[in-house]
Structure 1
Amino acid sequence: MSQQAVRQQAVRRTTDQVPAPALDATSRRAGGRLGTAKPGVRGGEMRRGGGVRAVQGPSGEGAAPEAEAPDRAETPDRAERWVAGRHGHAEEGTAGPSAPTAVTGDPEAARRRAERRAERITAGATELEQRLADLLRGGLADAGQAGHGLWEETAARMVDAQAPGLASRVRELGSIPSSGPGWPVRLLEECALLHLLDQGWLRREQLPSDLAATVRSRVGLQAAADGPPLRDHWLVLAQYDTADARLTTRRVWLHGAESDRTALLLSYGAAGRAPELTLPVGLTLDAELSTYPGAGRQRAALGRRFAPPGPTRTRPRGLTTSQAAVRYGEALRDDPWLDSVPVALDRVVPVRDGDGWQLADADGGTALPLTRTTGSQPGLWRLVALSGGAPVTVFGECGHRGFTPLTAWPAGPGPAVPLC
């Protein structure tokens, strides 16, 4: 596949410019009550919206874009309510960890609550647009001197507007200034994506249904899993946890042997506590899954289980590195805010590339760089040892910062080897 074709597929959507209207800075509210900001974006990562950096394969032929590690998953409303309760936000419809949310059978009351929340999110999105305009008017250089206070205050406003997804993205903006060479470009790109999400919410009635559902999910509104139950023998591809000061999030990737569908299960625990859901990697689960609405419909809810997880010889069907890059590019057309897609790579070899690593097609051609954090993890050395220079099958997440390997299988018979 030519470099031009891969670039055309993998370019993220952005907007031409951030809007111009301004609003005076208001409401110095309790930003300090918010959770700790996520880790910053490191220097040297590729641009999201403006292009794709080509990475040459070991033979110098072909190229594949840099991709990204784990996707920013949407936290369900109940988790955000728990967090809001911990931080003392007396928002309508929120409750602390010991006070379950009241359930009413009155559909009219539920409709009114949903309308009130939508109005608050709209007000928050409008204010955020104005703050983005203020940021550009003052110049991005000033953003590096403002510190985290400005971002935390804005994030607090989005929490008050009951838009936790917007709040999370604002906190991530605060981690970019002075984070390494090229940070103003990355900040501008993230602002453009945030502006795109704001506009998607404000014009959600004009969007296709799947894209509108994705926008609702990205701002922090979670619908119920409405897809019909799909029974399959689900191979447990990977399981790993991420944590911040508020929550521990567990991601479990599954692949249906008969349906050829890949699904993501999310579960949550309090900070420092592991979530309850545990599925052993490499085993197969006979169960039903129901998908959530949104583009791609990959997130799912685990339904009825017909048998405990058992051993299997099933392996995911793999792609080449250039096909993986194309898959990510195609996914961005349906979800411009997508950080990564699940991908299995077939017959790849871990290869040293200067200060980093990449997975190169064993047959030559192209390669995908591994995310920078992968190089410091024990899983990389397990992958290198498993390969021993021979091609292996690797499942992971492919996005704009690189490929994050999660599980690998040897070239011959052998069990799955977790890498995370």
Structure 2
Amino acid sequence: MAAEPAARGGSPRRPVSPEAPPCWAAARALLPGAREELRLEFGAPVGRSAALLLRRAADLLYGAGGARGPPPGLLRLSEAACDRAWERLNAAAWRAVDREWRRAFSFGCLFRALGLCRAGAASPEALRACDLGLLLGAPVLDGVLLRLAGVLQRHLPGPGAAPPPAPKKVRRGPPPPAVEPAAAVPRLRRPSLERFRDRFLAPGKPLVLQGLVDHWPCMSKWSVDYIRQVAGSRTVPVELGSRYTDQEWSQTLMTVEEFISRYIENENQVGYLAQHQLFDQIPELKQDIGVPDYCSLGKMDEDEITVNAWFGPAGTISPLHHDPQQNFLVQVMGQKYLRLYSPQHSEKLYPHEGHLLHNTSQVDVEEPDLARFPAFEEAPFQDCILSPSEVLFIPAKHWHYVRALETSFSISFWWA
């Protein structure tokens, strides 16, 4: 049997056994042809023992050739390397974690996913290893984890017959406050770039834009069932609780399928899928969106814009807060109630003291404690109900409060 050509140049690969699982050839083709091309050298922060575990795992992976079954010890070594890196990832604040440990974690996840793939058919466990590396690690080998996740997802068995849906326990929250015309955020249909810049961007005034994103594929394609079909097997971070200022609020990792089953279809619980990596992690969703044209008025290149996903049931709340950059909030599914306050009235909104929540108000916007926060009642505001295909421009530093009125999917673009 002739040796396979190398991927992206490099040495030829060993032949792949015809007895290997169907996903293995495609997965193995993502790796460099020679073990040396992995470049498993790490900076001083990564201890010698962790680096040695990864090198031994690589030796087994490349030395296995077309052998039947996984290389003996590959899973054990890769799991041990992941455990070492995981301890370091959780030993300090995220920004304090050295990038070399994140690289080591990514390689551990890569080798673990490959070992699971070589052991049998593509599995959710192997896909989860890729997702953990994507979420918590650093990019390695030209984005190999993202490409491997795509291979595994294509080879996962399709879902069987769906069981009959369980009765839903629907939580019915209070209706939104009435939006008075005098306080309503103005609406315009596709104003010119110059008009938007002069009348809203420069003076920092909110605006609901209409007709801007109607042509995006997500507007006609996306539903809860579609998201489940495209991303159900992917592991993502989920916020538990109705708002991040609640004492019981926490974060965890789960698959999109688990999130939908627990928090979308069973609305007596509250959870929110809120993360900025979703579209990089799941390209099938990214290809259905664009970037609002008006972002071209900023100084950022398109790849510098931060894109966030917000997916949750009715009743999820973003407390009154402000962000440092301009924001286009695109509503894809469901409706949301939003209230906005100008930064010139910040002293009447009672921000939390201390650095962690300095950009967040202490006031419950819809049920304010006016005995504790008497000046809040004097702060003028604008509000609106945002519907699918509408885009809300939230100027930088503008305070905003958000409540989902229905199962909702929104996308925010932070730019400057």
The normalised TM-score by structure 1 is 0.27
Which of structures 1 and 2 has the larger relative contact order (alpha carbons within 8 angstroms, sep 6+)?
1
Mark the structure with the bigger radius of gyration.
2
The normalised TM-score by structure 2 is 0.27
